[in-house]
Every structure is written in C-alpha cells, then in structure tokens.
Amino acid sequence: TLSKKVMIVSPSVLSCDFGNIQRDTEMLDQSQADWLHIDVMDGVFVPNISFGFPVLEAVRKHTSKVLDVHLMVQDCSPYIETFKKAGADWLTVHYEACTHLHRTLTQIRDCGMKAGIALNPHTPISVIVPLVSEVDLVLIMSVNPGFGGQKFIPNAINRVQELAQLREKTNASFLIEVDGGVTMDNAQALKSAGADALVAGSFVFQSPQPSATITALKNC
C-alpha cells in the first residue's frame, strides 16, 4: 500500500569530504535532509575511530538542522552532557555498549535530548521491551557498525517489520530508523516495513547530485 508518510532522511556526515566539511555541511543544510547523521566511533566498541566533539561542533556551526548523533562508543555515560553541549539533538547509544542502559537513556532525556537505542544485526528486537517508554527512537543496524559503504543486510527489513509490530502491540511511539547500506534499492521496502527515518552515507555522497539523491530518498 502507498503510504502518504514522508520519510525522514538523515545523510551521514561520515561520508563527506572532511577537507571541505563546511561546504558539505552547507550543502546538506540547503538540501531536503531532515536530520544530519553523525557517527562517533571509539575504536573499542567498533574496530574504527571516526571523530569526536570538535567535528560535531564544527558541523553544528554550519547547519540549523537536527543533529542525529549515533554513538558507537563503549560506556558513553560520562560524555552525555558534553554531547548536548556540542550540539546533539538526538543521541542514540548501542544496546550492546551500555551496561546501565535505563540510566543512560534517562540521562539523555534529562539533558534535553531525544534518546535512541541502536541494535546490532544479531541483537533480538525484544530487548527493547522493558524500555519502550524510555526511548524516542530505535535504530536498526542494517550493516555491522564501524564503516560506511558496506553492503545492506536484507534481514534488516524483517527486523523493521518485527519492531513496528512490537511498537503497535506496546502502544509505544518511538521512531524507527535504519542505518547502513541504504539505497533506492531498499528504501521503499524499508518504508513499507515501518521505517520512519533512513540514514544514507555513501549512497548520497557518491552520487553525482547528492542533494537530488536526498530528495529521491525523501520521496521513496
């Protein structure tokens, strides 16, 4: 069925040209992107290190869009307030990286941000059941986190569907976001499965017209 719902598109800054971060941020700011996705990697939770607060602050300076920050950081709890100060609006933490997840989600909301939980491809959807009223967004990883440009894992579509069913059953209202390998080849299927927001890095930045690609994803 054709839904009238418009997709939230969150291009991933990880795929931009860091030598031209102001230019690329301004391009995203002027595009139809709803959010800008910011991937923070610590080299512990994931086998890669991306960037931290100074880069987040630099992006914040050049856009008024919502900053959708995805922490791939082991035990991020000491840094939550610093992320708020650096400009984060939505802060998503990994289920697999937080020992005291309920406390962490509460801290995020207490700082005035929206709180998200990200789930790796192997993590059962049902782990979020005890936290449905603590969470504003659930991020389904459609690749193993750590790198841009990886291949989409098709089972993510089933997982989005399962999560959407769980949301309905529990009367919850969190948004469902999908991250990793998103292209026009899977965007519609993800939307029909129940996704509200799509992250796209390499698909946007490697396309000839990034801002037209963002529009296409928005209208998927």
Backbone angles phi, psi at 158, to 5 degrees: -65, -35
The beta strand positions in the chain, using DSSP E, are: 8-11, 35-41, 66-72, 90-94, 114-119, 137-141, 175-179, 197-200
Is 39 annotated in the active site? yes
Spatial distance between the Cα atoms of 82 and 66, rounded to a whole number of angstroms: 17
Range 47-86, binding Zn ion (CB under 5 A): 70
The distance of Cα 22 from the centroid of its chain, to the nearest Å, equals: 21
Please identify, using beta-carbon distances, which residue of 194 and 201 lies nearer to ligand DX5. Answer: 201
Contact pattern from residue 26 through residue 55 relative to ligand DX5, giving x for each residue in contact according to CB under 6 A and a dash for the rest: -----------x-x----------------
Tell me which stretch binds ligand DX5 (CB under 6 A): 74-82, 105-113, 169-177, 200-208: 200-208
The distance of Cα 101 from the centroid of its chain, to the nearest Å, equals: 18
Tell me which stretch binds ligand DX5 (CB under 6 A): 61-69, 88-96, 173-181, 209-217: 173-181
Number of Cα atoms under 13 Å in the Cβ half of residue 29 = 13
- Residue appearing with tokens 């020992």: 99
Quick check: 11 binds ligand DX5 (CB under 6 A)?
no
Nearest approach in angstroms of CB 16 to ligand DX5 is: 10
Is 17 annotated in the active site? no
Active site (catalytic) residues: 39, 179
Give the footprint of ligand DX5 on this chain (CB under 6 A).
12, 14-15, 37, 39, 70, 143, 145-150, 179-182, 199-203
